[in-house]
Amino acid sequence: MDYILEGFREALKLLTTFDREIYGIISLSLMVSTTATVVAALICIPIGIHLGIKNFRGKRAFSRILYTFMSIPSVIVGLMVAIILSRKGPLGRFDLLYTPKAMVIAQTLLVIPLILGLTYSLSKNRGKEIENVGITLGGNKKDIIILIIKELRLDLMVNVVTAFSRAISEVGAVMIVGGNIKYRTRVITTTISMMKSMGDYPTAIALGLVLLVISFVINSIIYSYSGED
Amino acid sequence: MEIRVKNLKRYYSDNLVLDIDNLTMEKGKIIGVIGPNGSGKSTLLNIIAGLDKGYLGTVEYDKKPIDKETYRDMTIVFQKPYLFRRKVYENIEYPLKIRGVDRNIIGERVEKIIERFEIEDLKDNKAHLLSGGESQKVSLARALVFKPKLLLLDEPTSNIDPESIKIMEREIVRFNKETGSTIIIVTHNMEQSRRLCDDIIYLEEGKVGC
Ligand SMILES: Nc1ncnc2c1ncn2[C@@H]1O[C@H](COP(=O)(O)OP(=O)(O)OP(=O)(O)O)[C@@H](O)[C@H]1O
Ligand SMILES: [Mg+2]
């Protein structure tokens, strides 16, 4: 029991003394996952809304495939990106493997199906009614996509945050393409799994606490927004 | 705008819900559509509004098939209106905004219509929290604000108190007189159709009766 308590005490000390390394790790985590989520959202929200309200051949099959990709294991995405970015891979000459950029790419690819799928399903269920009103008031295609984004903004935000939570808490993809290199590509989750195997519980606990706090803050923000109405 | 419907058939699977050989709705008139529940009134309106494309036959707008311009020149107020999650004022200005109308003109037009509908006190309310009757008023105001050449109304006064019905009928008639636009109005209220309409179409089981 003692060493657990000891671990917590040490963890709080690390956080309150603003340990440089710890805070570097936290900020890299936030940076990588935020960038990936924002890029994926900018791409997927308009496309997902468009596909959701559009009638096309094979829509059912498309839905099923998309929903399958939503839960793709992060190690598979990591592996794919690592192969593509490795020296002999198609994008090898950019020398991106084991850099934060590679981690952003991997996490972007990881959350793209998630945001696309959630947006698509939202728009499929609720977009048609909004589209009809938009059309009858004289809106063109672009007006209607903007209108639907504005109308569904709260749900869309919840979706984006869900994607961010998945990104910041995954370990497989960033571990494979980032390599957990000290001061360079080490993020919260890769550090936790490493520290645990090294028996450094205080650091692992400290970072675990930070991860919890991050998701708590995010969820509070969502709740305060959705309580707006 | 003149509407001409020819050989119109609308099936839902094997079920023929609308079957009209020939029907012309003249420009500038107020036309009432009456008939029992399920007789195809909303179906007809949605087809004319260009929202339901799963029909057989033709619908012509001033002797032409529907195109982008036609969509911009007409509108429908639904039986259950959908208002945007923003203020009442912002709902009403929406059709003008997407048409790129000048800011000052938007302000004037929206204020004027709010005044005519006597909904000044709702102006800054969130539209999606309004009562059913208030929503119907706002959605009619939002439809009139851009002066469509064809206005389709699906039971616009079904949830409305007598005082507000007076206001809405007054504004519908005034709009017709001022703009010469064609109005097609579905109603269950015979009195109302007599009060407002130049012509009345009676629908029964998808067919035009007399
Ligand atoms: N999406 C649909 N799928 C199958 N049947 C439908 C659909 N929409 C309408 N119908 C059927 O078409 C018929 C006409 O419906 P419609 O809504 O046009 O009637 P209405 O005259 O507007 O009735 P009300 O006075 O109740 O509004 C009804 O029998 C209805 O059940
Ligand atoms: Mg109806």
> Look-up: residue for tokens 């419907």?
B5
**DSSP bridge partners of B33:** B186, B201
pLDDT one-digit tens code per residue, B163-182:
999 999 999 999 999 999 99
**Cα–Cα distance between A33 and B173 in angstroms, integer?**
58
Please, what are the averages of pLDDT over each run of 10 residues along chain A (229 residues)?
A: 79 84 93 98 97 94 95 95 94 94 97 97 96 95 96 93 93 95 94 86 86 88 71
State the burial class of residue B81 (Cβ atoms within 10 Å of its Cβ: 0-12, 13-18, 19+).
buried
DSSP string, A57-104: TTHHHHHHHHHHHHT--HHHHHHHHHHHHSTTSTTGGG--TTSHHHHH
**In sequence order, which residues have a C-beta less than 8 Å from that of residue A215 and are 6 or more positions away?**
A165, A168, A169
pLDDT one-digit tens code per residue, B107-122:
999 999 999 999 999 9
Distance from CA of B202 to the nearest CA of A (A): 25
The amino acid occupying position A195 is M
The percent of residues in chain B predicted with pLDDT above 70, rounded, is 100
Domain carrying residue B162: 3-208
B residues 119-178 closer than 8 Å to A (CB): 126, 128-129, 142-143, 146
Instruction: State ipTM.
Output: 0.91
* pLDDT at position A201: 83
B173 close to ligand 1 (CB < 6 Angstrom)? no
**Cα–Cα distance between B124 and B91 in angstroms, integer?**
10
pTM for this entry: 0.90
- Tens digit of each residue's pLDDT, chain B (210 residues): 999 999 999 999 999 999 999 999 999 999 999 999 999 999 999 999 999 999 999 999 999 999 999 999 999 999 889 999 999 999 999 999 999 999 999 999 999 999 999 999 999 999 999 998 899 999 999 999 999 999 999 999 988 899 999 999 999 999 999 999 999 999 998 899 999 999 999 999 999 986
Question: Taking a C-beta distance cutoff of 8 angstroms, is the pair A135, A144 a contact?
Answer: yes
Ligand 1 atom nearest B10 alpha carbon: 12
**What separation in Å is there between the alpha carbon of B40 and the centre of ligand 1?**
6
* pLDDT at position A101: 97
* pLDDT at position B210: 64
Distance from CA of B69 to the nearest CA of A (A): 9
A residues 152-181 closer than 8 Å to B (CB): 153
Q: Which of B8, B10, B11, B12 to mutate to test the pocket of ligand 1 (most atoms within 8 A of CB)?
A: B12
CATH code (residue B12): 3.40.50.300
**Cα–Cα distance between B140 and B165 in angstroms, integer?**
12
> Is the CB of residue B110 less than 8 Å away from at least one CB of chain A?
no
* pLDDT at position A229: 52
**In sequence order, which residues have a C-beta less than 8 Å from that of residue B170 and are 6 or more positions away?**
none
All structural domains of chain A with their residue ranges = 2-225
Number of domains in chain B: 1
Domain A2-225 fold is: MetI-like fold (1.10.3720)
